[in-house]
Amino acid sequence: MRKKHRNLLLAVVVVITSSMITSARPSGGTISGKITYEGTPAKQKPIDMSKEPTCAKQYTEPPTTETVVTGPNNALDNVVVYISAGAPDEAAPSKAAVFTQKGCRYMPHVLAFQVNQELNVLNDDQTSHNIHPLAKINREWNKSQPPGAPPIVDKYDKAEMIPVKCNIHPWMHGTFAVLKNSHYAISSGDGGFTLPNLPPGKYTVTAFHESYGDQSQEVTITGSETKTVSFTFKAKPY
């Protein structure tokens, strides 16, 4: 559990630092806030990996599904927060976004990257996976990746939230968030997010959750202020 949080934290740090580097504006406004849920979220079930012993043995206790990941005080994790309108489209950064299959799970569970940014899919497991991103706007592909196979390298040329699955291991689900600019963050741990370095302007901030859909709010930034925006998703027990 602690390890997962560390991974998520790391992902957010990477996201924030990379967005700082790419936008390279010393000043600017910031949008930050917290994602919460109300109601009762679906109980996450332990994953039965007994059909895949090489993965099952990596866990002392079976990991749970990740369709809804929550933190204390109704915090909702794995929400992609991004500027859906108001910011110009940006060229893709040169650094590749990395999606790793480890222990028959996706690391990270939600991977955000930009249009035309290189995507590398790695298999750290001793079993074959098939990577099947179910794109609707982009082209849908499905590739096998046995243990030790080289990374699958690809990119997407249109913005889209793409569910990813492995057909061999039906519990493996994830999301590719393909976005038009570098102003994005993924809520983690306490449901918090920060979108720094925003030049003055009127923005639409959108929060996307794989089970609860998306919500948007209008935010106007003037100068180097920090605006607080919060999103509350209605949780369903099933």
Partner 1 sequence: MRKMNISKCLVGIAVLLAAPLLVSAQQVETHIGKVTGHADTGRQLYFRYCWGCHGFHGTGTGENWIPTGGFPDTPNLNIQPRNFVAATFKCRSTPTGTLPTDQDLYNSLVRGLTMSNMPSWITLTNQNRADLVAFIKTFSDRWKTDKPGPELSVPAEPALTVQSIQHGKELFTKLECWKCHGPEGRGDGPSASTLTDSNDEPIRPYNFAAGSRFKCGTTNHDLYKIFMTGLDGTPMPSFADVIKPEDAWDLVHYLRTLQVYHKSPELALWEGTKEGAEIVKAQKVRGTPTGSGVNQ
Residue 5 or 155 with smaller CB distance to partner 1:
155
Name residues contacting partner 1, limited to 170-199 (CB under 8 A).
170
Interface residue with partner 1, options 95, 136, 202, 236 (CB under 8 A): 136
Name residue 186's amino acid.
I
Structure tokens at 10: 């790391």
Residue 92 or 149 with smaller CB distance to partner 1:
149
Task: Find the shortest distance in angstroms from Cβ 8 to partner 1.
Answer: 27
Q: Given CA atoms 42, 44, 50, 51 in this order, what sign does their dihedral have? A: positive
Rounded CA separation 71/103 (Å): 23
Q: Indicate whether 95 belongs to the interface with partner 1 (CB under 8 A).
A: no
C-alpha angle 41/47/49, rounded to 5°? Answer: 170
Q: Indicate whether 130 belongs to the interface with partner 1 (CB under 8 A).
A: yes
Structure tokens at 156: 């997407």
Residue length, the chain?
238
Mark the segment that binds partner 1 (CB under 8 A) among 7-15, 21-29, 69-77, 122-130.
122-130
Q: Is 56 helix (H, G, I), strand (E, B) or coil?
A: helix
> Residue 198 pairs with which residues in a beta bridge?
29
Rounded CA separation 193/33 (Å): 6
Q: Indicate whether 38 belongs to the interface with partner 1 (CB under 8 A).
A: no
Closest C-alpha to 145, from 164, 162, 118: 164
Name residues contacting partner 1, limited to 50-69 (CB under 8 A).
51
Say whether the peptide bond before residue 53 is cis (omega within 30 degrees of 0): no
Mark the segment that binds partner 1 (CB under 8 A) among 61-69, 87-95, 108-116, 138-146.
138-146
Q: Indicate whether 142 belongs to the interface with partner 1 (CB under 8 A).
A: yes
Structure tokens at 5: 């949080």
Mark the segment that binds partner 1 (CB under 8 A) among 74-82, 95-103, 126-134, 215-223.
126-134
Mark the segment that binds partner 1 (CB under 8 A) among 57-65, 71-79, 99-107, 141-149.
141-149
Chain residues that interact with partner 1, rule: CB under 8 A: 51, 127-128, 130-132, 134, 136, 139-146, 149-150, 152, 167-170
